[in-house]
Amino acid sequence: MIVFNLGKSQTLEDALRIHQRIVQLHGNQAPIILVGTKSDLRNQRQVKSGDAKAIAKRLSCRFIEASAKDRDLTENAFMTIIREAIKMSQPAKPSKRSFWPFTKKAIVRT
Ligand SMILES: Nc1nc2c(ncn2[C@@H]2O[C@H](COP(=O)(O)OP(=O)(O)OP(=O)(O)O)[C@@H](O)[C@H]2O)c(=O)[nH]1
Ligand SMILES: [Mg+2]
């Protein structure tokens, strides 16, 4: 969970460096989410939601805004990263479509 302060744009730059380091060490094998905190401090905000979302999209990770003060979405942040970790630990499910030729073949054989 890479956390930055929505009220300090410098911390988003720090977050990007941390993300880069994690990818250097773990490739795409680490579950990562980007979390902007202190969302309750609206008048101090320096990072726009849309900008952070666009950055998260580029990094292929989810972005969540949270406030420790209001306890707003902090639980969501933890649940989201756990879900990402579970997704990564499971082998990719083949889609129904990719099963189709196999099923067809099996029918022909029987
Ligand atoms: N309003 C508000 N204040 C917060 C929030 N999170 C932490 N703080 C306050 O920020 C100060 C630092 O608290 P920390 O526990 O160190 O929180 P942090 O997330 O590490 O925040 P920083 O140290 O300020 O980067 C304290 O005064 C906290 O009460 C938040 O979501 N909203
Ligand atoms: Mg602190």
Q: What is the DSSP letter of 41?
A: -
The string of pLDDT tens digits covering residues 12-70 is 999 999 999 999 999 988 999 999 999 999 999 999 999 999 999 999 999 999 999 98
Going by C-alpha positions, the residue among 26, 15, 23, 29 that lies closest to residue 63 is 15
73: confidence class by pLDDT, cuts 50, 70, 90? confident
What is the number of the ligand 1 atom nearest to the C-alpha of 5?
25
Q: Whose CA is nearest to atom 14 of ligand 1?
A: 68
> What is the CA(2)–ligand 2 centre distance, in A?
14
Going by CA atoms, what residue is nearest to atom 15 of ligand 1? 68
| The pLDDT value given to residue 56 | 96
H helix and E strand count, the chain: 4, 3
User: Is the confidence at residue 107, as pLDDT, over 60?
Assistant: no
Determine which helix (DSSP H) or strand (DSSP E) holds 44, and give its type and residue range. Answer: none
Question: What is the number of structural domains in the chain?
Answer: 1
Angle CA 59–17–2, to nearest 5: 65
CB-CB contact of 22 with 30 (8 Å): yes
CATH number at residue 31: 3.40.50.300
Residue range of the domain that includes 76: 2-106
Q: Looking at residue 108, what is its pLDDT?
A: 57
Q: What is the pTM of this model?
A: 0.83
- Cα(38) to ligand 1 centroid in Å equals 7
Ligand 1 atom closest to residue 41's alpha carbon, by position in its atom list:
1
**Is 98 a residue whose pLDDT tops 70?**
no
